[in-house]
Amino acid sequence: MKVRFIFVAILFSLTSGFSALSAVEVRLKDIARIDGIRENQLTGFGIVVGLPGTGDSKNAITSESMKNYLKNLGLSTNLNASQTRNIASVLITADISSFAKAGDRIDVTVSSIGDAKSLEGGVLLQSPLKSAKNEVMAVASGVISFGGREERGSSSQSPGREYRFGSGVGEKKDSGQIISPKNQQKNVGIIHKGGIVEKEITGNFFSSSKFRVILGDQDFSTLNAISKLIDTSFSIKSVVISPIEIEVNVPEKSTAVAFLAELENLKVEPDNRAKVVINERTGTIVMGANVTIDEVAISRQGLSLIVAGRNKDSMNSTEQKVLMIEEATRVSDVVDALNKVGASTKDIIAILESLKKAGALHAEVYVQ
């Protein structure tokens, strides 16, 4: 069966017909960040209790950890691996802002590291979360959440349809129920606001009168445009110190907060590289506005496509499936032409990759 692609074109501003596309202005905060404003990762080990017989069965770490936990509470017990089916060992991860204060709550992710079948219905015991420097920055505990559940016999679905996942994906049978994913295991969950910050990350962000603007994607044209815009907007001299960094000084008659507020709202026209992203699994092509193709002829398994020069006369051909498109056209036109002649998903991917290798496609091609 031939699968046709869905086209998602990132078009900034279309003037008319096949005329050139111009970028729109975006805020500086949407394409860059201020150095020092970042997230920090925390991790820790914990024990989940209250599981309905779906916990670890052969994990010695679980029984030993539970023994140590109870020992710290002044209790003594002789647990073995076969007695831990209602508890499970987990790793806990979380992100914390550089400006988080003691008492702030954060979301934490809990992941099983043993042979537990499911963590659903479990409660995480209080567990420390450490930074890369091995400092305890937060503690976490709470009921693990897995999102919404599928209900049997739901009236929101069309009657007479049964949706299966795993083996037999998309299979439909005469039944009024929705079948849950086969052998689905909920071994990764989230505790919303389950972490409490215990220690703040030290540092006074506003103590400096000098800041750095860091681009999200490296591009010299965009970097130069931002540097000139900052100079003219604030009557200061910015300094480009790397391919993605610009250093700026706070103006004498301004505060750091007011300056950064104006800085991040400056409007700039980014000059991004031409890219084509192909997702073979979903059949989606995402392309930028600056993608062009030179004069080229393509032939694959009886499919013929000619991208001709604009100033050349029409080419005579006796082939039945020949489509002609002018050079410097968009990839969407070429792919649309291939769809019209019945090209399959593999045909389109192979042709775009070959165009890139031949030097006729002026864009970076990513296949996912």
**What is the model's pLDDT at position 174?**
41
**pTM greater than 0.75 (yes/no):** no
Residue spans of the domains in the chain: they are: 6-23+273-367, 39-146+186-197, 148-185, 206-268
**What is the model's pLDDT at position 306?**
66
Which of these ranges, 74-88, 157-171, 212-226, 342-356, has the smallest mean pLDDT?
A: 157-171
Contact 79, 67 (CB under 8 A): yes
Is the pLDDT at 248 greater than 80? The verdict is yes
Give 206-268's CATH code, choosing from 1.20.1300, 3.30.70, 3.30.110, 3.40.50.
Answer: 3.30.70
**What is the model's pLDDT at position 17?**
35
CA–CA separation, 290 and 275 (whole Å) = 8
**Residue 188, H or E segment:** strand 188-197
| Residue 274, amino acid | A
CA–CA separation, 335 and 352 (whole Å) = 9
- Pick the more confident residue, 304 or 358: 358
Average pLDDT over residues 125-146: 93
Would you give the end-to-end CA distance of the chain in angstroms? 21
pLDDT digits (tens, 9 = 90+) for 30-54: 999 999 888 899 999 999 999 998 8
